[in-house]
């Protein structure tokens, strides 16, 4: 059974990939795009750990826990069952955290590049609007 | 290891927030560009003793066991002895730091876009 962080990382990687594909096409990260990518990353990260939620309330939801973790349908939650089967017991915290950190680092770098592009555009527009 | 990385990230984060507030809630593009690299450097710096301990023949563990050596790397040894700083807490704090930085970045990009729009209208 993999730790939730690994599931979160896998969930976050999907909107991240789409965001990077959009960036590669547009060559610019707009604020709207960044907001969308981050919101979807949070949403998909949370969605990926839905089958693990009943585990935190074992007395109340043991039936739900068994059903969610035993069904193949739970793979809707970003291959939750497949990941649980392939990852050894309670491992993957460091791997998951590194994947999340790497994704957020890449987004920060890309945003920085876009900010430089924006600044250049502002400077050239200022020269046009206010010629000296 | 995660808590060390988190503390490594927390120090430049505090400096960033201080500068951000001091400059009237505005971030310079230079700072924005340097930010991810500073974060990466500090995160790697904080886990140097962990990396060194992998050096074979006991050399690595002997060097990594030196308390003075450890304190340069964001109080590595001292943090190891704090049981309350569990890994999951570290991860939570790391995500909080990174997502709050993104709010600042988002605001900066929005300000730039607004400025571009304004200048385009004036042209």
Low-confidence ranges of chain A (pLDDT < 50): none
Weakest mean pLDDT among A25-29, A58-62, B2-6, B102-106? A58-62
Across chain A, what does the average pLDDT equal?
85
- Determine contact: B47 vs chain A, CB below 8 A: no
CA distance A76 to B84: 35
| ipTM score of complex | 0.81
Secondary structure, 3-state, B33-99: HHHHHHHHHHHHHHCHHHHHCCCCCCHHHHHHCCHHHHHHCCCHHHHHCCCCCCHHHHHHHHHHHHH
Q: How far is A110 from chain B (nearest CA, A)?
A: 9
pLDDT band at residue B120 under the 50/70/90 scheme: very high
pLDDT band at residue B41 under the 50/70/90 scheme: very high
Nearest to B119 among A31, A111, A126 (CB): A126
Degrees to nearest 5, angle at CA A20 with B107 and A75: 110
Inter-chain CB proximity A100 and B95 less than 8 Å:
yes
Inter-chain CB proximity A115 and B108 less than 8 Å:
yes
Q: Percentage of chain A with pLDDT > 70?
A: 89
Q: How far is A35 from chain B (nearest CA, A)?
A: 7
Nearest to A94 among B1, B115, B119 (CB): B1
């Amino acid at each position: 059974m993999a730790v939730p962080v690994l599931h979160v990382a896998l969930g976050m990687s999907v909107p991240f990939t789409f965001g990077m594909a959009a960036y590669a096409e547009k060559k610019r990260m707009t604020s709207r795009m960044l907001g969308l990518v981050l919101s979807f990353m949070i949403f998909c990260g949370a969605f990926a750990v839905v089958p693990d939620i009943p585990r935190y309330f074992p007395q109340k939801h043991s039936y739900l826990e068994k059903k969610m973790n035993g069904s193949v349908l739970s793979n809707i939650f970003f291959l939750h069952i497949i990941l649980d089967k392939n990852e050894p017991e309670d491992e993957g915290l460091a791997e998951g955290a590194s994947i999340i950190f790497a994704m957020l680092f890449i987004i920060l770098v890309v945003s920085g590049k876009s900010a430089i592009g924006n600044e250049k555009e502002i400077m050239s527009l200022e020269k046009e609007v206010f010629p000296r | 290891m995660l808590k060390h990385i988190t503390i490594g990230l927390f120090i430049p984060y505090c400096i960033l927030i201080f500068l951000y507030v001091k400059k009237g809630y505005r971030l310079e593009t230079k700072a924005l560009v340097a930010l991810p690299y500073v974060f990466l450097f500090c995160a790697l710096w904080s886990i140097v003793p962990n990396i060194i301990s992998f050096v074979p023949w006991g050399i690595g563990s002997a060097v990594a066991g030196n308390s003075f050596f450890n304190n340069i790397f964001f109080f590595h040894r001292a943090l190891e002895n704090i049981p309350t700083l569990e890994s999951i807490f570290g991860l939570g704090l790391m995500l909080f730091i990174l997502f709050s930085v993104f709010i600042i970045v988002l605001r900066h990009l929005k300000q730039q876009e607004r400025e571009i729009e304004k200048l385009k209208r004036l042209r």
